[in-house]
Amino acid sequence: MSAIPAGVERAGAAETPFRRFVSDFCESRVAVAALAMLALIIAVALLAPWIAPQDPYDLRQLDLLDSKMPPGSVGGGGMLHLLGTDAQGRDMLSAIMYGLRTSLAVGVGASFGAMFIGLAAGLIAAYFGGLIETVIMRTVDMQLSFPSILVALILVAGLGQGVDKIIIALMAVQWAYYARTVRGTALVERRKEYIEAARCLALGHRRVVFRHLLPNCLPPLIVVNTVLVASAISLEATLSFLGLGLPITKPSLGLLIANGFQFLLSGKYWISFFPGVALLIIIMCINLVGDQLRDVLNPRLQR
Amino acid sequence: MLVYLIRRLMQSVVVLCVMSLLVFLGVFAIGDPVQILINPLADQAEIDRATAALGLDQPLWRQYWLFLVNAARGDLGRSFVYNVPAIGLILERMPATLELAVTATFFGVILGVPLGMLAGLKPASPVGKSIMAASILGFSLPTFWVGLMLIMVFAVELGWLPSTGRGAATCSLLGLKFSLCTVDGLRHILLPALNLALFKLSLVIRLSRAGTREVVLQDYVKFARAKGLPQSRVVWLHVFKNITIPIVTVLGLELGSTIAFAVVTEWIFAWPGMGKLIIESINVLDRPVIVAYLLVIVFMFIVINLAVDVAYSVLDPRVRLSEQRA
């Protein structure tokens, strides 16, 4: 518990919890490399409009004569297409950079939205108990007994397409995981003395829940969050690939891969291959960072 | 036990009802199927006739009530597109999906258990480490992309295996068609099954590795070694038998999710199962088929979960079901 970054200002000694957290994290070189890679990817996604060789959605910059060129070829305008071009003559590298933006935004947005809902539901269930807890946790149990892709399919079938709809669908899929994790942690924390002390001081429910209970439930939540961001990105890509996710105007990595699907059979692999590699790298880096966070934040493994 | 079973069954019925309402309302909310199905040049009278023929002019609660009454009779409506009973359409495609899911699970076990045991027996060796790295990769790889890459390598570049469909030469058994019994069918099922097996494979590798690492430390394994039994006998008799229980349990629970995830694999490999049908139906808003598919899947899940719970209580006397709050 002491390893949460929030403890920085409380500790004045040389070995602050935050510093210990950082040094523990840095013990795994693979995790550090994954984190660096992730930072690089996020930077690329954020800076895409400035660093991409081409704006892939500005039709004036596209030339159909440049379509489906293999990686490394030079287009009509004298531009080098490092990763080739797609059927519309779009530079794949630029398309991937823009795709990263959409994929990351949807994945992170949905996952954090789900975290707030799950956090609230889990805390309420754990703190108040009784009928509220039964209703919330039964809903969670019911939802978790079905695989995420099925729940997402039901929702997308119901909601239709669009960025907001897909984010809602992903949030609805993921809140249950957060709710279960938070409730589990909060149930343990609730019985500890500091909560009792806070209650003895006749502090309001809101203050006890948000200022005392919540900060101590965060460490396991951070771990779950990394895993779920990865799964949200992957699920969004899958839905988009099936043609049920994002509209064509907001191409994510999944949609880029879907676009290349039809050209795969004629040997034009690069349209699908490179967006997939980008997706794989993101998911793997997040998973590696998440694995290390789990080890570092796990009190049972604390030395 | 009986009380528990009755309670569980009643719970399952409640879940089924709630899900049917959710599915019905959810599916009802999307678009107007008449717009998609009818000739765009049709006049208002024709549109009204089509709407009435599909029962879409009734109020929502009445549509749901009719749906429930019919569902109780095993009639989940007629497909707007094929104009045949939706449930028949689903059941017709179900064997293909089940065949794929079972074959994928089989691949997962047949490859995963030996690899996992190897990694568990030699956790520090390069072989053990690379097996574990591969399993992390297996968890991270997006399934649909791996499917595309399998097509690219084995169907396009090497030309060894076909990339779509079940093959023409399927044999039929009890009126159901199966691909597994002909060479051509086997060639067709290999890639999709491998693709679907990938996630399962990673899971089985992790489970058998963890199981093996625990079991080799047990006294009976040490004793077997001390007796001078050959390594192969210790591994295949003493270790293998004891790691199977968790693997079987998890695979039982995972069967449902394999069937659900088959949607993606079926779509990529044009495998004519339920999953491909549902994606096509969502795209043309064929409501009865969507609802029927979701209800069939929900029903399957409820049955699987119930069966696993009951099997647990039979296998493990420590789980006293009658004492649980149901």
Q: Which residues of A touch B163 (CB under 8 A)?
A: 265
Comparison of pLDDT for B74 and A174, the residue scoring more: A174
Q: Could you tell me which of A119, A97, A64, A32 has the C-alpha nearest to residue A253?
A: A97
Chain mean pLDDT for chain A:
80
Of A158, A243, A265, the CB nearest to B26: A158
- The pLDDT-based confidence of A117 (bands split at 50, 70, 90) is very high
What percentage of chain A exceeds 70 in pLDDT? 86
Chain mean pLDDT for chain B:
78
Per-residue pLDDT at B310 exceeds 80: no
Per-residue pLDDT at A210 exceeds 50: yes
Return the minimum-mean-pLDDT range out of A181-195, B48-62, B112-126: B48-62
CB contact under 8 A, A157 and B290: yes
Comparison of pLDDT for A289 and A159, the residue scoring more: A289
Per-residue pLDDT at B315 exceeds 70: no
CB contact under 8 A, B136 and A257: no
Q: Which residues of A touch B298 (CB under 8 A)?
A: 146
Per-residue pLDDT at A109 exceeds 70: yes
Q: What is the pLDDT of residue B23?
A: 74
Burial of B75 (0-12, 13-18, 19+ CB in 10 A): middle
Per-residue pLDDT at A180 exceeds 80: yes
Per-residue pLDDT at A8 exceeds 60: no
Comparison of pLDDT for B42 and A8, the residue scoring more: B42
Of A242, A257, A276, the CB nearest to B279: A242
Of B142, B152, B282, the CB nearest to A280: B142
Per-residue pLDDT at A52 exceeds 80: no
Per-residue pLDDT at B86 exceeds 70: yes
Of A149, A157, A257, the CB nearest to B27: A157
Q: Which residues of B touch A265 (CB under 8 A)?
A: 151, 155-156, 163
Digit-coded pLDDT (tens) for B21-41: 877 776 666 656 666 666 666
The full set of domains in chain B, from first to last, is 92-278 (1.10.3720.10)
Q: Which residues of B touch A288 (CB under 8 A)?
A: 136
Q: What is the pLDDT of residue A151?
A: 81
Residue range A92-301 forms a domain whose CATH class is mainly alpha
Burial of B130 (0-12, 13-18, 19+ CB in 10 A): exposed
Residue pair A195/A212 in contact (Cβ under 8 Å)? The answer is yes
Residue B282 to chain A, least CA–CA distance (Å): 6
CB contact under 8 A, B297 and A242: no
Residues 128-187 of A with CB under 8 A from B: 142, 145-147, 149-150, 153-160
Digit-coded pLDDT (tens) for A228-263: 898 899 888 888 888 877 777 777 888 888 887 878
> Using DSSP, how many helices (H) and how many strands (E) does chain B show?
13, 2
> Which of A242, A253, A277 should be substituted to probe chain B, the one whose Cβ sees the most B Cβ atoms within 10 Å?
A242
A195 Cβ under 8 Å from any chain B Cβ: no
Q: Which residues of A touch B155 (CB under 8 A)?
A: 265
Residue pair B256/A147 in contact (Cβ under 8 Å)? The answer is yes
CB contact under 8 A, B144 and A257: yes
Residue B229 to chain A, least CA–CA distance (Å): 36
CB contact under 8 A, B257 and A145: no
B133 Cβ under 8 Å from any chain A Cβ: no
Per-residue pLDDT at B323 exceeds 50: no
Give the CA distances from residue B310 to residues A243, A289, B3, B30, B249, in Å, rounded to whole numbers and listed in that order.
Answer: 39, 38, 12, 38, 12
Residue with tokens 């490394």: A72
Q: Which residues of A touch B141 (CB under 8 A)?
A: 280, 283
Comparison of pLDDT for B47 and B219, the residue scoring more: B219
Residue pair B112/B204 in contact (Cβ under 8 Å)? The answer is yes
Contacts of B154 (CB under 8 A, 6+ apart): B160, B161, B163, B191
Comparison of pLDDT for B36 and A169, the residue scoring more: A169
CB contact under 8 A, B156 and A157: no
> Which of A264, A266, A268, A277 should be substituted to probe chain B, the one whose Cβ sees the most B Cβ atoms within 10 Å?
A264
Q: What is the pLDDT of residue B216?
A: 80
CB contact under 8 A, A154 and B283: no
Give the CA distances from residue B66 to residues B55, B61, B76, in Å, rounded to whole numbers and listed in that order.
Answer: 10, 9, 10
DSSP type of residue B171 = E
CB contact under 8 A, B140 and A244: no
Q: What is the mean pLDDT of residues B100-121?
A: 88
Digit-coded pLDDT (tens) for B48-59: 777 777 666 677
Spatial separation of the C-alpha atoms in residues B243 and B238, rounded to whole Å: 9
A12, A18, A24, A26: CA torsion to nearest 10:
-120
Of A241, A244, A266, the CB nearest to B282: A244
Chains A and B form CB pairs within 8 A to the count of: 111
B281, B193, A241, B39: CA torsion to nearest 10:
-20
Q: Which residues of B touch A166 (CB under 8 A)?
A: none
Spatial separation of the C-alpha atoms in residues B118 and B211, rounded to whole Å: 11
CB contact under 8 A, B29 and A159: yes
Digit-coded pLDDT (tens) for B134-184: 888 887 788 888 888 888 888 777 777 777 777 665 666 655 666 666 677
> Which of B145, B206, B296 should be substituted to probe chain A, the one whose Cβ sees the most A Cβ atoms within 10 Å?
B145
A279 Cβ under 8 Å from any chain B Cβ: yes
Q: What is the pLDDT of residue A113?
A: 92
Spatial separation of the C-alpha atoms in residues B45 and B50, rounded to whole Å: 9
Residue with tokens 């979960």: B305
Nearest CA in chain B to A260: B148
Per-residue pLDDT at B275 exceeds 50: yes
Query: Which of A64-78, A101-115, A236-250 shows the highest mean pLDDT?
Result: A101-115
B31 Cβ under 8 Å from any chain A Cβ: yes
Q: What is the pLDDT of residue A114?
A: 92
Residue B227 to chain A, least CA–CA distance (Å): 36
Spatial separation of the C-alpha atoms in residues B237 and B226, rounded to whole Å: 15
pTM for the model: 0.80
Nearest CA in chain B to A161: B30
Give the CA distances from residue B240 to residues B108, B117, B206, in Å, rounded to whole numbers and listed in that order.
Answer: 16, 8, 14
Return the minimum-mean-pLDDT range out of A8-12, B41-45, B114-118, B309-313: A8-12
Q: What is the mean pLDDT of residues A271-298?
A: 84
CB contact under 8 A, A158 and B136: no
Return the minimum-mean-pLDDT range out of A120-129, B180-189, B268-277: B180-189
> Which of A138, A156, A240, A241 should be substituted to probe chain B, the one whose Cβ sees the most B Cβ atoms within 10 Å?
A241
